[in-house]
Amino acid sequence: MRSSLLSSVAKFVITDYAATSLRHCSSCRRVVAALQQASTSMENYEDRVKRFFALEQVEPDVFRTSNLGTLQQSSDKAAYGGLIFAQALAAAENTVEDKLKPHAMHSFFILNVDTSIPVQYHVRRVRDGRSFCTRTVEAVQEGKIVFILQVSFHVVSCSFFFYTSVFRFSIVCFLGISRFATIGGSSRQLQGTPKVRGQGARPRHGVALEFSAAGRSRQPGATHRNSLEPDSAVHQDVMPVVPSWEKLECLSDVIPWLKTEIAAGRIKVKPALEHRLKHYETRASQKNGDLFQIRLTSIDRHIGLGEQSTSRTFYSWVRSVGDLGDCEKLHRYLVAYTTDGPMGGSAFRPHYGNGFDPSMIFSLDHNVWMHKHLIRADQWMLFENTSTVAGKGRAFVTGKLWSEDGVLLLSCAQEIVLRSRGTVSKI
């Protein structure tokens, strides 16, 4: 009864009205944050993820949410860029039929998004074609555009081979020699996906994203034979060989041991590293409120211990904190959410050995190309990040996300602002 009452109070305080009314008071913001944390701890994990992406439709092609606070955000007030990116994608998908899948997303972060103020996502229908359609999404807060996303969607349809095969099957059956018939494909989709809306239809007012599930999905990255348009060429990079996630630990599990070693004098650290460890320790104490978990292939390189390395490529295994159902969209949004956070590290972590201490890091843009539309966020995926160039206060980073069985699920790229407190580091 007591937990139910507290949960109800927390949900009331986190409404648009309350968040807007209390945003000017720092003490009130801390109260709201505490109540959000209390409400989060009582929620089922899947329900908590759904809450971030169930946008309220306020008018045609305009969606609103006040669910903006996550542990990935860089400060108490600035929202995590990956969340804004994923919510904008959800808004765009609310305006297309389910047969259309996002394959290319390009975005710009223009202003910080204040977590205490609701955001509205305005969707513009740029083009509706037979195979492709385009949407532009503007995130607006207090009348200002804070974020822009462009999304291209592609129809996941039966191949030409499928239709010709069905035609051959029908003719052969008609001639009475069905033993020679072949069926070359299937248009089967992931079970439990939301209902398909009619052509050009808009979702009804209220909660715009429906989550339903029945059955399990196929292997991550797997597609039914000939379920897509015919391929003219097929290739992909080879997945790197790295330690399995089963042999690795999360950074939050290593922090207590690391603090003991430093206190005993067995590990020597520079002042810049001590500052970073305090940040990691704070995050580790709140790990139950995060949406995804990370296991690093080299914790020493991640935090700047051990021998200096000039390599600017980092690997980490990522997956959702808990299990999710079979809503295809929900998995896609959480994977999009995950891609923004780990990328920037490959630009500045190689410089830790030179005493580099970052003072400002944030994404200028973020771009994702999804090669597979069926991705399970609740299975381990390898995230490979490389920074190819840095200078003039900016750095460029690319990423590849692999399924555990070696399928390249998506590629991504972003440019970040990168400034330090000390001297210039060169490697």
pLDDT given at position 180: 33
pTM of the model: 0.74
Confidence category of residue 301, pLDDT binned at 50, 70, 90: confident
Helix spans in 186-236 (H): none
Domain 245-420, classified CATH 3.40.50.2000, yes or no: no
Name which residue leads in pLDDT, 182 or 123.
Answer: 123
User: Please, what is the average pLDDT of the chain?
Assistant: 76
**Domain ranges within the chain, ordered by starting residue:** 1-42, 245-420
Q: How far apart are CA 397 and CA 361, in angstroms?
A: 13
Q: How far apart are CA 373 and CA 53, in angstroms?
A: 18
pLDDT given at position 75: 61
350 and 312 Cβ atoms separated by less than 8 Å: yes
Tell me how crowded residue 316 is: count the other CB atoms within 10 A of its CB.
Answer: 23
In what helix (H) or strand (E) does residue 30 lie, and over which residues does it extend?
A: helix 26-42
Closest CA to 132 of 147, 154, 103, 115: 154
Residue 221, Cα to own-chain centre: how many angstroms?
Answer: 16
84 and 141 Cβ atoms separated by less than 8 Å: no
Residue 254 has pLDDT above 90, yes or no: no
Q: Report the percentage of the chain scoring pLDDT > 70.
A: 66
**Section 79-107 average pLDDT:** 97
Q: Are strands 144-155 and 313-320 parallel, antiparallel or unpaired?
A: unpaired
Return phi, psi of residue 123, to 5°: -100, 130
Rg of the chain over CA atoms, in angstroms?
23
What tens digit of pLDDT does each residue of 55-70 get?
999 999 999 999 998 7
Residue 416 has pLDDT above 70, yes or no: yes
* Positive/negative CA dihedral, 247, 253, 258, 261: negative
